[in-house]
Amino acid sequence: MDEFNMDAFLDALDELEKLGGGEGGLFGQFEFGVAYFIYSGEVPQDDRCHEFDPTDTESRNKAKEDAEDTMEEHGVEVTKENRPQISYIFKFPKATAKGITAERAEGWAVDERVFATPVWADAAKEVIKPAVKELGLKPGKHWGRISFAEDPGGRTETGLDGEEKIRLVAFPAETYENEAACEDAAGGNGNESAEPFGGIPTKFRKEVINDYEALRAEGLPPKKAVAKVAEDWEYANADVLDLVS
């Protein structure tokens, strides 16, 4: 028997964790597509996404025009630096949420969470595109799990403690044949009982963190994301802050 290499084993575990190899994330029926996405807080979330068929030039041009018109309607100037970006998008409606996540879905501020990543970004090329290829994921609706990984390009954001940390990117981790299979997969996600720690029961801590990370991925500032999660879960802001810091 070959000698066990602990260093190599631990390095492999680090890679799995970095790539979102666990069973956490958002379970439900998500929609995958490509769109001109407006990265501006001045435009309501429901109006930011303008999907198109990448194989159809006319469809792409129309989506770009619609996105730019939407920006102008909301008083946002379209410039070279501030324009809609062609992005991979994942729409996750709260109505389809499964497992523990479903218990929190009714507290979402919007009916649908949209995760968007520019196609030119390292996160798209190294995380999203390989996952799409591996799953054979076609544009449209799928029952599956959206997970989160660190941005391989090293893009950072300011954490709650004022320190810079690596951003997270949403990607399709698994797909299921139907709603029942998705329900089964979600049912085993963090349901074990445990004693509370820091005011938040251990069995809910992963879901609280997932909700926080999802809001941050949408662009909500750290403090507002903490406040929103604390309100949704009916926990103290300080307890949520301690958990996600």
Which amino acid is it at 222? P
Supply the pTM of this predicted model: 0.69
Closest CA to 190 of 12, 60, 65, 27: 27
Structure tokens at 186: 């979600």
Residues 6+ positions from 185 with CB-CB distance below 8 Å: 23, 27, 98, 99, 145, 174, 176
Report DSSP letters for 132-162, one per residue: HHHHTPPSEEEEEEEEEEE-TT--EEE-TTS
What does the pLDDT read at residue 130? 93
Query: Do residues 45 and 76 lie in contact, with contact meaning Cβ atoms separated by under 8 Å?
Result: no
Structure tokens at 183: 């329900």
What does the pLDDT read at residue 217? 85
What does the pLDDT read at residue 192? 34
Mean pLDDT by 10 residues, the chain (245 residues): 69 51 73 93 89 91 95 91 92 82 65 90 93 93 91 77 79 93 73 42 75 85 85 78 76
Sign of CA dihedral 24, 30, 35, 40: negative
Q: State the virtual CA torsion across 175, 54, 129, 27 in degrees, nearest 10.
A: -30
